[in-house]
């Protein structure tokens, strides 16, 4: 059978596809292994109890379950949820946002496809632009997202060494080149799989550089602040009209409900919503329905700070201690400072 160039992109090996296959295959084996990576969040008992109770509420209210499962939302996503998000970010963080600054997507992975191909690729005639990853290693899920060849440009990191066998990747601003061919910058904060958190200072320098070049700064906040806040380092949430901030309900505990959240200027949100209408008509409704009351009450940030963050921090500390004790003192090993996301990275 003959496939188009577009089809051929998906007929070979795809890193993120293999990773997701591995995760799914492992879960059906008996006994299922303890997942130590790959981005699948843990089943945090307190969070699961909250969603169970919310689901029971939906089921017990006459007509509510039928309403949630029986209607498409708009391509921008549940109006109630989008409104509650805007209120949360306005009141808790003082951001100048309204419902028009939010779009839901079927997982944030989906948003990267829309956003990356919006800002990079062909711009009429011969002009081509790339997505610049200012710090690598980066999330493997970006790698096949671009529809054009040479879609990404990346910069090697500076490596800072710390006592205790720790290291940290940092943006090498000396090497970072932003020119006409850069359509947008993107970094994940925290990063999967290194556990790195780009510092507040690095974020403000990247913001300045992106603004100077007139291109957006895309921040992948799937593990970030304010929710699920799987961050153990100091990090302020940031947004302005030149930032495209991508959040997700996955790592808070709802990976199967595929709910991504894009916060951006209205012009971008309109296009992302239209793309959603073409790819999938609308985002799923169940994630927003289950999380609505947590966002309306502001509990999503409280639960992130008081339950989710300490849950993963304790696991990270344990993993580092265990790794050190198993490897002993004679094996040269360095661990990336565990600053966030799900698992510490060790280099031997």
Ligand X SMILES: Cc1ncc(COP(=O)(O)O)c(C=O)c1O
Distance CA 137, CA 160 (A): 15
Determine the size of the site formed for ligand X (CB under 6 A).
14
Pick 96 or 143: Cβ nearer ligand X: 143
Residue 187 interacts with ligand X (CB under 6 A)? Answer: no
Task: State in angstroms the smallest separation of the CB of 109 from ligand X.
Answer: 3
Binding to ligand X (CB under 6 A) within 119-148 occurs at 139, 141
Task: State in angstroms the smallest separation of the CB of 39 from ligand X.
Answer: 3
Residue 229 interacts with ligand X (CB under 6 A)? Answer: no
In this chain, which stretch among 81-89, 248-256, 293-301, 308-316 interacts with ligand X, using CB under 6 A? 248-256
In this chain, which stretch among 104-112, 146-154, 164-172, 266-274 interacts with ligand X, using CB under 6 A? 104-112
Tell me which residue has tokens 């008992």: 45
Binding to ligand X (CB under 6 A) within 32-71 occurs at 39
Pick 51 or 65: Cβ nearer ligand X: 51
Pick 130 or 188: Cβ nearer ligand X: 188
Residues contacting residue 171 through CB under 8 Å, at least 6 positions apart: 134, 135, 155, 157, 158, 198, 202, 205, 206
Distance CA 51, CA 41 (A): 15
- How many CA atoms lie within 13 Å of 74's alpha carbon, on the beta-carbon side? 15
C-alpha distances (whole Å) from 160 to each of 89, 172, 250, 332 are: 34, 11, 31, 17
Residue 188 interacts with ligand X (CB under 6 A)? Answer: yes
Pick 73 or 220: Cβ nearer ligand X: 220
Residue 260 interacts with ligand X (CB under 6 A)? Answer: yes
Which stretch of DSSP H or E encloses residue 118? helix 108-119
Contact code string over 157-176 relative to ligand X, x by CB under 6 A: --------------------
The pair of three-digit structure tokens given for residue 104, joined into one six-digit string: 């839901």
| Distance linking the first and last C-alpha atoms of the chain | 45
Whether residue 248 contacts residue 287, with contact meaning beta carbons closer than 8 Å, is answered with: no
Task: State in angstroms the smallest separation of the CB of 341 from ligand X.
Answer: 7
What DSSP string runs through 153-179? EE-PPEEEEEGGGEEEEE--TTT----
Task: State in angstroms the smallest separation of the CB of 198 from ligand X.
Answer: 12
What DSSP string runs through 215-239? --EEEE-TT-TTTT--B-S------
In this chain, which stretch among 105-113, 127-135, 161-169, 227-235 interacts with ligand X, using CB under 6 A? 105-113
Residue 81 interacts with ligand X (CB under 6 A)? Answer: no
Pick 101 or 192: Cβ nearer ligand X: 192
Contacts 24+ apart (CB under 8 A), 65-73: 68/285, 68/286, 68/289, 69/285, 69/286, 71/285, 72/281, 72/282, 72/285, 73/104, 73/282, 73/283, 73/285, 73/288
C-alpha dihedral sign at 239, 243, 246, 251:
negative
Pick 100 or 255: Cβ nearer ligand X: 255
The pair of three-digit structure tokens given for residue 298, joined into one six-digit string: 């502001």
- How many CA atoms lie within 13 Å of 214's alpha carbon, on the beta-carbon side? 2
Task: State in angstroms the smallest separation of the CB of 119 from ligand X.
Answer: 17
Binding to ligand X (CB under 6 A) within 189-228 occurs at 192, 220, 222
In this chain, which stretch among 70-78, 102-110, 237-245, 264-272 interacts with ligand X, using CB under 6 A? 102-110
Among 98, 137, 165, 255, binds ligand X (CB under 6 A): 255
Interface residues with ligand X (CB under 6 A) are 39, 107-109, 139, 141, 188, 192, 220, 222, 248, 250, 255, 260
């Amino acid at each position: 059978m003959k496939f188009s160039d577009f089809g051929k992109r998906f007929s070979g090996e795809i890193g993120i596809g293999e990773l997701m296959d591995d995760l799914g295959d492992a879960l059906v084996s008996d006994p299922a292994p303890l997942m130590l990576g790959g981005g699948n969040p843990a089943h945090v008992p307190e969070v699961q109890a909250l969603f169970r109770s919310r689901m029971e509420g939906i089921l017990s209210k006459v007509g509510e379950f039928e309403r949630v499962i029986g209607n498409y939302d708009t391509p921008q996503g549940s109006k109630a949820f989008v409104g509650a998000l805007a209120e949360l970010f306005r009141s808790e963080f003082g951001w100048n946002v309204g419902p028009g600054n939010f779009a839901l997507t079927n997982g944030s992975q989906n948003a990267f496809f829309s956003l990356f191909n919006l800002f990079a690729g062909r711009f009429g005639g011969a002009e081509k632009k790339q997505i610049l990853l200012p710090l690598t290693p980066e999330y493997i899920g970006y790698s096949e997202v671009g529809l054009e060849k040479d879609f990404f440009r990346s910069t090697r990191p500076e490596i800072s060494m710390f006592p205790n066998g720790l290291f940290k990747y940092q943006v090498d601003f000396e090497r970072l080149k932003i020119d006409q061919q850069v359509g947008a910058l993107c970094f994940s904060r925290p990063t999967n799989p290194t556990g790195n958190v780009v510092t507040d200072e690095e974020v403000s320098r990247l913001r300045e550089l992106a603004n100077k070049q007139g291109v957006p700064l895309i921040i992948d906040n799937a593990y970030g602040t304010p929710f699920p806040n799987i961050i153990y380092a100091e990090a302020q949430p940031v947004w302005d009209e030149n930032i495209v901030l991508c959040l997700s309900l996955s790592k808070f505990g709802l990976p199967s409900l595929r709910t991504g959240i894009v916060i951006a200027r209205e012009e971008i949100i309109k296009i992302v919503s239209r793309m959603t209408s073409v790819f999938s008509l609308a985002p799923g409704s169940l994630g927003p329905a289950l999380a609505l009351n947590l966002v309306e009450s502001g509990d999503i940030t409280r639960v992130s700070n008081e339950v989710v963050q300490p849950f993963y921090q304790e696991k990270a500390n344990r993993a580092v201690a265990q790794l050190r004790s198993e490897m002993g003192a004679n094996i040269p090993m360095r661990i990336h400072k565990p600053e966030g996301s799900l698992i510490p990275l060790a280099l031997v």
